[in-house]
């Protein structure tokens, strides 16, 4: 009875989330919200104005996980930490990369961090369900507005369910919102893969039919983003024709193009022709836009070295908790002209900028080179990793003080470069290698890298790593292609760091079943007694 009551309390909390979301708004360039005098649940789901505000609330919920500052801002970086491209150096985020956290039912990282992905995505689902049902049952509403509301809510639901399935595998789906009548209903079993993907296809197909490519308010779902997500869903079903068709539609729409240079991709507010979908952050907006500290986790603590102070040119404030591993660095260094490492996506050199503390023989502008990534000297390689290791600039807000770890940078979710790489893989799988190469080389050419002359899955995965690294897609891509366990065994972290972890080398801890995240025990306790935990965690 205790577990059932806890489940009911959780579901009832979901119904209150929207009241908080109503306080969310954005300025002219962001999502627009309206303060309402009547904020009752009846108003929210039974009037056009209420439904419009409820949709805006979905975007607030969708942002929550990125601005969660608990665990030193680790939660939005868990997928990056658990991928094959990063090295966990210190801090909470490194506990996930070394499998001390998030790899069993009993560890704190599962309870605190992994649980956030389950709970918050189901929050989005529950609110989307309420909006969809309210809109479907409302007659006194303009049909175009109704379909817009439905399309955005269905995109949010599809994105949430797709994330849950890719992370947890054993998930349940429902299209019914929480009500007093169903509050005691407890899921007894996981949903089938067929059921899950049938809903994903249905939701996204509706959205594609009813969303425009252009939206005046940056950050809303649009047809391009919906088609992009539909292509990603199709790839998980090995439906290469569907993936090819959807990407072709986006690429030929006339609404999108690659940013001119890699330097432009993550500049400013991301409101440009390459962005398909981004998470909005804005300081001092009504009800939200709180900061995130993703950049701080992923840029080295270079200012601890003599001769350097925190600066915009060096990537702002950094703690050096997680960063590029040797495998990722080698991929970026394969082509010496590849400019993604030249303070665009990644920063490989931190420049001396403090004349008062320059080491002997160094000049302003010289790259920091005091440390070596030793294979054996732990003190030396720890100094290297913390202060000198290359960092990630994709979450860097150049408008804040360089000493401030709190950033308000919008976060890229989907962009056209990935559409090109999805198209390349789909065409390759369909046997159209020439077309696949053309798509892949469009991305490489923008990065000033030499065109590839042949294509296979490894070529696609390597290019996805260089272009999309640390944007949160890598874990899903490797899992989809059946390469996750193999690539983690080969590349996770770096060998000298792996051997230094007191709990042991994570490569010896890794098990194949860990490709599915554990469903946290407190969530299992809220489900039916026979609900299946993912294999390996019982």
Phi, psi of 412 (to 5 degrees): -75, 130
What is the per-residue pLDDT for 42?
Answer: 63
Are 485 and 510 spatial neighbours (Cβ–Cβ below 8 Å)?
A: yes
Indicate the average pLDDT of the chain.
Answer: 91
Confidence of residue 106 (pLDDT cuts 50, 70, 90): confident
C-alpha separations of 228 from 13, 145, 246, 251, 272 in Å: 32, 23, 7, 10, 17
Average pLDDT over residues 294-310: 98
Unique residue bearing structure tokens 């440390």: 371
Candidates 230, 240, 223, 150; CA nearest to 197 is 230
Query: CA end-to-end span of the chain, whole Å?
Result: 22
Q: How many residues does this entry show for the chain? A: 538
Please report which residue ranges of 169-239 form alpha helices under DSSP H. Answer: 193-210, 223-236
What is the per-residue pLDDT for 101?
Answer: 97
Candidates 29, 14, 23; CA nearest to 131 is 14
Residue 10 pLDDT > 90? no
417 sits in which H/E element:
helix 416-429
Indicate the range of 32-46, 208-222, 282-296, 380-394 predicted with least confidence. 32-46
Percent of the chain with pLDDT over 90: 87
Residue 37 pLDDT > 60? no
Residue 13 pLDDT > 60? no
What is the per-residue pLDDT for 31?
Answer: 43
Are 411 and 431 spatial neighbours (Cβ–Cβ below 8 Å)?
A: no
Phi, psi of 319 (to 5 degrees): -110, -20
Are 158 and 229 spatial neighbours (Cβ–Cβ below 8 Å)?
A: yes
What is the per-residue pLDDT for 43?
Answer: 66
Residue 33 pLDDT > 60? no
Indicate the range of 29-33, 335-339, 422-426, 445-449 predicted with least confidence. 29-33
Confidence of residue 189 (pLDDT cuts 50, 70, 90): very high
Confidence of residue 87 (pLDDT cuts 50, 70, 90): very high
Q: Where are the beta strands (DSSP E) in 391-525?
A: 391-392, 411-415
Average pLDDT over residues 136-142: 94
Query: For residue 67, what are the β-bridge partners?
Result: none
Phi, psi of 39 (to 5 degrees): -110, 25
Candidates 221, 232, 219, 92; CA nearest to 148 is 221
Long-range contacts formed by 428-437: CB under 8 A, 24+ apart: 428/455, 428/456, 428/457, 428/460, 429/238, 429/240, 430/240, 430/241, 430/244
Instruction: Residue 238: count other Cβ atoms within 10 Å of its Cβ.
Output: 10
Are 397 and 318 spatial neighbours (Cβ–Cβ below 8 Å)?
A: no
Unique residue bearing structure tokens 């729409």: 253
Structure letter (DSSP) for residue 518: P
Residue 6 pLDDT > 60? no
Which residues are within 8 A (CB) of 268 and not within 5 positions of it... i.e. 6 or more apart? none
Candidates 47, 52, 48, 69; CA nearest to 18 is 52
Residue 143 pLDDT > 90? yes
From CA 324, how far away is CA 318, in angstroms rounded? 14
Q: What is the pLDDT of residues 440-462, one digit of tens each?
A: 999 999 999 999 999 999 999 99
From CA 509, how far away is CA 492, in angstroms rounded? 12
What is the per-residue pLDDT for 41?
Answer: 56
Unique residue bearing structure tokens 């056209």: 416
Query: For residue 342, what are the β-bridge partners?
Result: 347
What is the per-residue pLDDT for 363?
Answer: 97
Average pLDDT over residues 425-433: 98
Look up the pTM and report it. 0.92
Average pLDDT over residues 84-111: 96
* Residue 141 in tokens: 């509403």
Phi, psi of 340 (to 5 degrees): -70, -15
């Amino acid at each position: 009875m205790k577990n059932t009551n806890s489940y009911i309390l959780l579901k009832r909390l979901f119904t209150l989330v929207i009241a908080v979301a109503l306080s969310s708004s954005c300025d002219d360039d962001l999502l627009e919200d309206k303060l309402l005098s009547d904020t009752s649940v009846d108003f929210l789901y039974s009037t056009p104005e209420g439904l419009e505000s409820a949709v805006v609330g979905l975007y607030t919920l969708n942002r929550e996980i990125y601005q969660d500052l608990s665990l030193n801002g680790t939660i939005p970086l868990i997928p990056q930490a658990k991928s094959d491209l990063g090295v966990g150096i210190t801090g909470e985020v490194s506990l996930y990369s070394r499998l001390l956290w998030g790899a069993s039912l009993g560890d704190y990282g599962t309870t605190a961090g992994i649980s956030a992905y389950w709970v918050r995505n189901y929050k989005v689902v529950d609110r989307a369900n309420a909006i969809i049902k309210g809109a479907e049952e409302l007659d006194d509403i303009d049909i175009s507005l109704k379909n817009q509301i439905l399309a955005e809510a269905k995109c949010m639901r599809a994105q949430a369910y797709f994330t849950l399935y890719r992370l947890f595998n054993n998930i349940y789906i429902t299209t019914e919102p929480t009500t007093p009548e169903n509050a005691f209903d407890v899921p007894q079993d996981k949903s089938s893969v067929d059921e899950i993907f049938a809903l994903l296809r249905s939701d996204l197909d509706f959205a594609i039919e009813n969303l425009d490519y252009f939206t005046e308010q940056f950050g809303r779902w649009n047809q391009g983003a919906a088609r992009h997500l539909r292509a990603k869903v199709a790839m998980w079903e090995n439906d290469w024709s569907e993936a090819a068709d959807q990407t072709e539609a986006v690429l030929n729409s006339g609404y999108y193009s690659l940013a001119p240079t890699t330097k432009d991709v993550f500049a400013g507010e991301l409101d440009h022709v390459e962005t398909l979908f981004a998470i909005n952050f804005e300081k001092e907006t009504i009800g939200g836009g709180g900061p995130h500290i993703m950049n701080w986790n992923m840029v080295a603590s270079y200012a601890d070295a003599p001769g350097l102070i925190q600066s915009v040119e060096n990537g702002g404030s950094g703690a050096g908790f997680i960063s590029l591993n040797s495998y990722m660095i080698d991929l970026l260094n394969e082509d010496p002209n590849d400019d993604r490492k030249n303070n665009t996506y990644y920063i490989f050199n931190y420049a001396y900028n403090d004349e008062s503390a320059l080491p002997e023989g160094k000049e302003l502008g010289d790259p920091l080179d005091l440390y070596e990534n030793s294979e054996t000297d732990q003190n030396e390689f720890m100094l290297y990793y913390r202060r000198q290791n290359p960092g990630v600039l994709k979450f860097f807000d150049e408008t804040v003080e360089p000493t401030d770890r709190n950033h308000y940078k919008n976060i890229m979710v989907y962009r056209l470069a990935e559409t090109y790489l999805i198209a390349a893989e789909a065409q390759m799988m369909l046997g159209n290698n020439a077309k696949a190469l053309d798509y892949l080389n469009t991305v490489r050419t923008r990065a000033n890298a030499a065109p590839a002359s042949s294509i296979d899955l490894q070529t696609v995965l390597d290019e996805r790593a260089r272009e999309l690294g640390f944007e949160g897609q890598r874990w899903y891509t490797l899992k989809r292609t059946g390469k996750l366990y193999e690539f983690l065994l080969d590349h996770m972290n770096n060998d000298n760091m792996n051997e230094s972890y007191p709990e042991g080398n994570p490569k010896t801890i890794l098990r194949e079943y860990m490709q599915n995240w554990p469903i946290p025990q407190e969530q299992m306790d809220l489900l039916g007694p026979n609900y299946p935990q993912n294999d390996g965690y019982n």
